[in-house]
Each structure stands twice: as C-alpha cells, then as structure tokens.
Structure 1
Amino acid sequence: MSVRKRTWTGHGVQKEAWIVTYFDTKGVKRQKTFAKKRDADTFASKTDVEVREGIHIADRDSITVKQAGKLWITTGEGEGLERSTIEQRKRHLKFHIEDFIGDKLVSKMTVPLIREFEDQLREAGRSPAMVKKVLVSLGGILGDAVERGLAMRNSVRDMRQRRNGKEKRQEKRQKGKLKVGVHIPTPAEIRTILPTLEGHWRPLLITDIFSGMRSSELRGLRWVDVDLEGRAINVCQRADEYGKIGRPKSEAGERTIPIPPIVVNTLREWRLVCPRRDTGKVDDAGNPIMELHYVFPNGKGNLESHANIVNRALKPALVKAGVSIDTGKVDKDGNPIMRAKYTGLHSLRHFYASWCINRKADGGLELPVKSVQERLGHSSIQMTLDTYGHLFPRGDDADELAAAERSLLG
C-alpha cells in the first residue's frame, strides 16, 4: 500500500493529485486517485484493513444497488419463487430502494449507510412495518451480491444479528397477543354466524370455520382431495393471488385435517350443485365436457379470488349475523351503516386454532400443542406456541389453586 503525490502542468497551470497504489485480495494491482492527501490517506488506511481481512472489493469490480437488485430478482425467478414474491421484490426495489440508494455501490453499503437509509425511509413516510420489509429485501440484494463476488459483506445481516433480540421484543410488544373477541371470533359469535350462512358461500365458510385452512388452500382445494367417507380433507396444493397452483407454503402445509359431521354433510350437499369447469373437450354430440374440479370455484368452475371471498362472503355474513361494528354513519334511509367486526378470513383460522386448544368442558377439542401444529400446517411447533401459546389452558387457575391449598393446609 503506497500513497504518492503526482504533479503536472496543464495549460500553464501546475496541478497535483494523490495516488494510492495497492494489491487487492486477488493480487491484482489497483490504483485510485484523490485530489486531497487527507482523502487518499483515509482510503489507504481503510483499504489496507479490508484487504488484510479479505473483504475488499474494488469499485470497478462492484455494481450499484439498482443493478444488484435486478440480479436478485433474476435469481428469484431462476429459483422458481412464486409470482407474488417476485412482484414484491420488484415493488420494493422500484418504490423504496432505487430512489434512495440505487446509485450506491453494493461494496460500499456499510452499516452507517444502511442506518441512514432507514432514517430516509422513515422521513419519507414509510411505516415501521414497511421499513422492516424493505430492509429484508435489501439484505437479500446484498446477500445475492456477496454470492456473486460483487460484495464481501452483507451489512444488513450484520446489523440485524445485533438487533435481532431487541427487534423481536419490540415487535411482540407492538403486536400484542391475539385476543378472543378482538382478533378471534368467540364461540358465541360462531354460533350466531352459522345459522345465517346461505347460498354458495355457505359451504366455504363452514369448511373454513371447522378446518382452519388458509385462503390459498381453500381456493386450491380439489374434490379429489376431499374424503367424505373418511371425514377428512387432504391439503396438497394452494392457489396464489395470481391464480397459480403450487405446493403448500411449507412441507408441514401438506397435511390431513379431520372434519366434523357439519362439514361432511354440507360438502356432500354442495357437491351435487357445485359448478363444473369446462375441460375444453366435447362429447360425441358436440357438447362441452364439464368436470367437477375445485371445491369452492367461481360460477364457471374456475378458481375463486381471495377478494371475492372476503368482500362477498365473509364481511356480508358477519354483518348479517350482527357480528359487526357501527361505523357512525347512516344510509339514505337513516339506518346505521355497520361493518364486519372481523375483516380478514384469517380470523376464522384463528377461531379454529382456539377451538382445537379450548378445554372439552368449554366446547373445545383440548388437543395437545403438537396436534394443533399439525392441523394448522405450521412449519414448527414454536410458531404455534408463539401465536397461540397464551390460549392453552393453564394449570394454575383459581379453582385448582384453591384445591391445592386445601390439600396442603387441610
């Protein structure tokens, strides 16, 4: 590593510059020019440490964050990621990364620069949740660049490793625990909802209430995966938001869910009138050949959309059953306008989880946590405990404490 001064005369004016000469981690001789000696010395000191630690990448061997982001998207496409995931990567890159740090070299993305990027996102009005998601994407971009030899360090990963415990604690405090009657329908509310369900949405909502299937799993469910005689549903595939059929979210997502008589009887009746889809073939008389395929299709027998299920099935059903909240507004006839108390289909999945967990004396199944994990298709038992652990019956409630006291003290 050397720093030397170079002087020359141009147009009758004496000029000078400072040149840093060094060998990079590959043994290639490099030079970089600076107008001031102070800048040259700073670069030389920093580069000397990076070369010795094996983390130096010359500027000409690196690329910008924008370019690296496009390579990261290409990597995802090559890995066969779902379209929704690829689209999210593109949105994060275009709307949240490029305008702020798109022209920065990935080899120069240090922890201080990333902290500054975080501040810029917040000042620009991004929510804490969005900032976190964008940082995850930036970490993916830098990780891909490291694998391609375009950067030697993923500073997002380094930063998040130091923050990990603190972030998890903050996230838990912000989200809080799922509460029955707030995030999870109560058993009384479910009893109120069931008699009001009607039409072609009835079998879907009843199945969701008593199976806890994800929306994507319900939409992709085929009749061949429903065993009415064995009273079970085999989850083998799911439909993403773009209508593409694929495997469940994880290996644990492929599962068999026992279903109670109300679901069996409802599906048996529904099968008789369920819309069939056009196979694209015709019979000998020239009539189109139709087939039963999806269990909860649209009117043409094809995939139903998630938005339709939420907006045309769930919300109207809740309002009709009185499981609703007054918006404070009135319609043209002066009647109060109500909105659904629970706005997402996942609330029914939460109910199913609570039903599996609740004591039999309280109308639940009282299943052990491992069985709950398997029925929900969680990838780990820790995920089940983190989400629903507080709902499991405690062994130290007031009645049991009183009994223990009497036994101890006589």
Structure 2
Amino acid sequence: MATIRKREWTSPKGEEKTAWLVDYRDGSGARRFKQFSRKKDADAWLTSAAWQVSQGTHTPDSQSITVAQACDIWIAAAESKGRERGTIQQYRQLADLHIAPLIGAEKLSRLTQPKVAAFVDKLLEARSRDMTHKAVRALARVLGEAQRRGLIAQNVAAGVKVERSSREKAKVEIPGKDELRALIEHADADMKPLVMTAILTGLRASELRGLRWADVDFKAATISVNQRADKFCQLGPPKSKAGYRTIPIGAALVKALKEWKLRSPKGEQGLVFPNRQGGVQDYGNLLRRRFYGLQIEAGLADPVIEKGKPKLDDKGRPVMTPRYGIHALRHACASGWIKQGVDLKRLTTWLGHSSVQMSIDVYGHLLSDPDGDAALVNAAHAELLG
C-alpha cells in the first residue's frame, strides 16, 4: 500500500531539513520511493502515479528515458516506416538543433505541461515563432511515439500551441500576367514546356521533376500525379493521399507537350522533364541555374542594394536577384483558377491540398468578390423590403 511520510534530517551544515517521501510499488511490484519538498506535491503525484500503475503505464524515474533518447526512437520509427530522406533529415535537425539542446536531458517521467510551456518560452527567445511552432509539433510527435510504446502515460505537449500572428505569415507572392507571359516568351525551347506546365497545372516542383509521360493523357487532356522526386532526386509516391490527383489541361499545353515529347531527353524512368541524361533533374540546378537565369533574362529581377547603392559584379554590372521561386508559378495557377470561378472543391483537389480549409488558409484573400457581395446584399435587401 502506498504511503506518504514526513522525513526530517540535519544537513552537513547543521540546517534542519524536511521532505515528504512517497513509498509505493510500481506495476511489477518493486518498491519505489520519490521525495518532494511539499506535501501537496507528494499527494498530487501519488494520485497520478497510482492511476498510472493501475493502467500499466507508470514508469519510475530511474527507468525512464530522456527526451533526447525519445527523439532517437521517433526518428528510428520514421526510418522503419520508409519516410523520405529529406523528411528524416528535417526530423533530425529539429531534434538536434531545437529540442535536445533545451530539453533533451529531461526524463519523460518528469516532463510536465508547464515544463513544455517553459521550453516554448526559451525557444521564442532565440527563434522565430514559425520555427518554435515546428519544434513544438515535433516534440508532440516524439512524445506521441513514446506514449504508443508505453514509455509515458500521456503526451504533455499535445495541448501546447504556439500562436502565430497573421502578420508573421509569409505573403503569397503571385506573378502578374505580364510577368508570366515574359517568362514563357524568354524561356528557351527546353525550359518553355516546364514553365507552361507549372503555370497551367499548379504542380509542385517535386511533382514536375517526377512527372512521367505515362501520366500524361493527350487524348483525355489530363495530367495525373502519381509520384514525385525528393531533394535527393529519389522518386517516390506523393507525400499524402491528396497528392494523387488528375488535372485537366488545355489545348495549348497539350500541343506544347506533344512537341516536347518528340525531342525531350529519353531515360529509363520515362520522365517528362528529365536532365540531359534522362534522369531526375536536380532541384537546386533547376531553381538557381535555370529558373533564376530565366527571370533575369525576362526582366523579373531587381538589383541588390548595398549601402544605398546597387551592388556591382566583377565586370561592373548590377547584381540582380530574381523575384520568385518556382512555387510562385503554382500560386499563379491557383490565382487563375480562382478568378475563373473554379469552386473550392475542385481547387483543393487540383492543387493536391489535404482539405478545403488548407486552400482557404493559403488563398482565402483571393476568394473575396466585392462586386458579387454587393449584388447579393442588394438582392437580399430588395427581397426583404419588397
């Protein structure tokens, strides 16, 4: 039977000390002790521990692993499930750079929600809210895996949230029509089909790099997404069920792709936009050497300013920085669909979003229709007032 008793002793310095000792047995019947400076803390802990013992989920401090060790278990579990190398790399960075340095030595059995809240406060002192949000989500997943394995009774990070101000959300940069036309007009014969496909289908860069000719149906005028290429140029399935989708394409893109198929590099994987050897195109090369260069050629770049003056290269020319990443073409496609009245369900499906809410979160500001709102209100007023 568990008991709490008062313990009194004299320290080596001659000071009178008092503590409250919890004497209990764990799930295996082994006798355990835990000491507290206040009786109410001992009472609260014993109530919780007794319930955990009855449920078979109690872990004594001496047998508990640390948060850092739990991170290793979480990452190993992700590897065993076949997560992509890029995903594993992100998990490891979150664990090594943001979780372990601040809370890694804490034992799971001693981790509480207030301690997780303190962890959040420490993160915010030196990291952005966005990075703090990612680190807390990762910790919740670490503890979730530990809970699934019976290493802890509850996930104390599950309810901890990092509020992110709408001001801190990255602004969606959307190229204008003139800029999109300039990109297409200045693209060389090899780059033009890829740019057109990105603008007219909204495919992600990873999906463009992994697209196969087998997934282009010229007769039905559709493109299906069934695989993607990761940052290491490894082909694999889309990252979510929603990633699998079929997108309708217009006659202009069908014509451009038919012409491109006749002269595109051939490879064993049958990719639509491969590198010169027919293999998977490296993302860094596509972005920095090809897409950035295209923007500078098309005039979609701005001079780098240093100390109030344009920075010059070795030849005395202004150093230019491109305005957009490849993902901006996906935003442009979504913007075009919205302006044409594509409904939210189709928009969500064609973009490969996991939910309608995700589409609203990203493109909600484009969904407003002041003229249409005014017409609806006037019609309602007329109906009500006769």
Q: TM over 0.5, yes or no?
A: yes
Q: Is the contact between residue 147 and residue 155 of structure 2 (CA under 8 Å) also seen in structure 1?
A: yes
Residue 368 of structure 1 deviates from its aligned partner by 1.6
Compute the TM-score of the two structures, normalised by the length of structure 1: 0.81
Deviates more, 1:99-108 or 1:395-404: 395-404
| Aligned residue runs from structure 1 range 1-400, under 5 A | 1-3=3-5, 5=7, 19-24=21-26, 26=27, 28-32=29-33, 39=37, 41=39, 44-54=42-52, 56-123=58-125, 125-160=126-161, 167=163, 170-175=164-169, 178=172, 183-277=173-267, 291=268, 293-327=270-304, 328-342=310-324, 344-358=325-339, 365-392=340-367, 394=369, 396=371, 400=375
User: Structure 1 counterpart of 2:65, which letter?
Assistant: I
The Cα offsets for residues 380-407 of structure 1, whole Å up to 9 and x where unpaired, read as: 1221122112213516459848986998
User: Structure 2 counterpart of 1:206, which letter?
Assistant: M
Residue 302 of structure 1 deviates from its aligned partner by 0.5
Residue 40 of structure 1 deviates from its aligned partner by 7.2
Structure 2 gap segments, 5+ residues each: 11-16, 305-309
Structure 1 SS opposite 2:157: helix
Q: Is the contact between residue 3 and residue 44 of structure 1 (CA under 8 Å) also seen in structure 2?
A: no
User: Structure 1 counterpart of 2:208, which letter?
Assistant: L
Paired with 1:299 and 1:104, the residues of 2 have a C-alpha distance of 51
Residue 324 of structure 1 deviates from its aligned partner by 1.9
User: Structure 1 counterpart of 2:49, which letter?
Assistant: V
Paired with 1:406 and 1:376, the residues of 2 have a C-alpha distance of 37
Paired with 1:17 and 1:367, the residues of 2 have a C-alpha distance of 68
Structure 2 SS opposite 1:249: coil
Paired with 1:401 and 1:324, the residues of 2 have a C-alpha distance of 42
Count residues with an aligned counterpart.
369
User: Structure 2 counterpart of 1:340, which letter?
Assistant: P
Residue 56 of structure 1 deviates from its aligned partner by 4.8
Structure 1 gap segments, 5+ residues each: 9-14, 278-290, 359-364
* CA root-mean-square deviation: 3.1
